[in-house]
Amino acid sequence: MSIKYLDNAQRKSVVSKQLFIPLFLVMGVYGCSTDDSQTITTSTELTLAEEFDTDGSPNGSVWDYDIGTETNGWGNQELQYYTDRFENVTIQNGNLLITARAENFEGSAYTSARLLTKDKFEQRYGRFEARIRLPFGQGIWPAFWMLGADIDENPWPSAGEIDIMEYRGQNPTVLIGSVHGPGYSAGEAISKEYELPNDRFDTGFHVFGIEWGPEYVNFNVDHVLYNRITPEDVTGTWVFDKPFYILMNLAVGGTFVGFPNEETVFPQTMLVDYVRVYKNSNTN
């Protein structure tokens, strides 16, 4: 089932199918401790549920594709050509598959895919999460992230960026959550790593999410809070007070992750079980 904006009847139907909303997460934000042993969640009203349970192409009412290479202005010295081909992006057996392949295509040595909800689903504040099994290998760079919906009028980094999850494939136990904005972008982003205890992100599914509200972004893995960023933490203007849209992609190479080597195995696939977004009915 792929749902964009849900009315009350649709929402009740989805919740009746046992979408996971941890009861212990429904609590106030202000005045609460934010140590690593708990997460703080106030957004429980479902607004988007992409469950990827129908084989074929992703839901066109929610997802678009970026097509091409970094010459389109994306930067980072990445090596892949993004496509919308079945070989790079498809839904099978209840999962969205984003696959990076080593192949010559349109002048690039690799192909992959980047999906985005720009102009189709955008929201200010709430809980954004996805259940994902990550790929592995030197030079492999998956990400689940967000950009300010006004990016055409306010080019990056002024529009703002929230990296819910990005990860270096050669380090399968560590991910990074970040915010970028004017005065704190790229290598100066406000970031924190999370190391998975006694496990790897490429051997099973994990839930990556944020709880975002006025003047805070809380980062969590498997519903455990590991970082909170507020206006006091950034070194420039706080720009996280407007709608953002979602992106998911699997890059190959680049300045952040380095480049594939002879030990990198292709194809590599990022499997997404679901993407869900909630809002706090008390916060617009």
pLDDT at 169 > cutoff 70: yes
The whole-number pLDDT of residue 42 equals 78
**Mean pLDDT value across residues 268-273:** 98
Query: Is the pLDDT higher at 15 or at 282?
Result: 282
Cα–Cα distance between 239 and 216 in angstroms, integer?
Answer: 11
In the prediction, which pLDDT does 281 show?
A: 78
Which residue, among 32, 33, 28, 62, has the nearest Cα to 48 in the 3D structure? 62
How many Å separate Cα 248 from the centre of its chain?
5
pLDDT, one tens digit per residue, over 41-50 is: 678 999 999 9
2-279 CATH, one of 1.10.760.10, 3.30.200.20, 2.60.120.200, 2.30.30.190: 2.60.120.200
7 pLDDT more than 60? no
Model pLDDT for residues 56-84, shown as the tens digit of each residue: 999 999 999 999 997 765 678 999 999 99
Active-site residue flag, 161: yes
Does the structure show a pLDDT above 90 at 29? no
User: Which candidate in 51, 70, 129, 161 is catalytic?
Assistant: 161
Specify the pLDDT at position 280: 87
Looking at the predicted structure, is the pLDDT value of residue 5 above 80? no
**Average pLDDT, integer, range 234-238:** 97
Please state the domain extents for the chain. Answer: 2-279
pLDDT value at residue 284: 67
> pLDDT tens digits for 95-141?
999 999 999 999 999 999 999 999 999 999 999 999 999 999 999 99
Residue 22 has pLDDT above 90, yes or no: no
Q: From the candidates 166, 188, 215, 232, which is the catalytic residue?
A: 166
Q: How far apart are CA 209 and CA 186, in angstroms?
A: 21
- What is the pLDDT averaged over residues 229-248? 98
Task: Say if residue 155's pLDDT is above 70.
Answer: yes
Query: What pLDDT does 19 receive?
Result: 43
- Report pLDDT for 46: 97
Nearest to 264 by CA among 202, 180, 178: 202
For the question of residue 50 being annotated catalytic, the response is no
Reduced to 3 states (helix: H, G, I; strand: E, B; else coil), residue 249 is: strand
Would the pTM count as exceeding 0.75? yes
| Cβ atoms 251, 78 nearer than 8 A | yes
3-state class (DSSP) for residue 186: helix
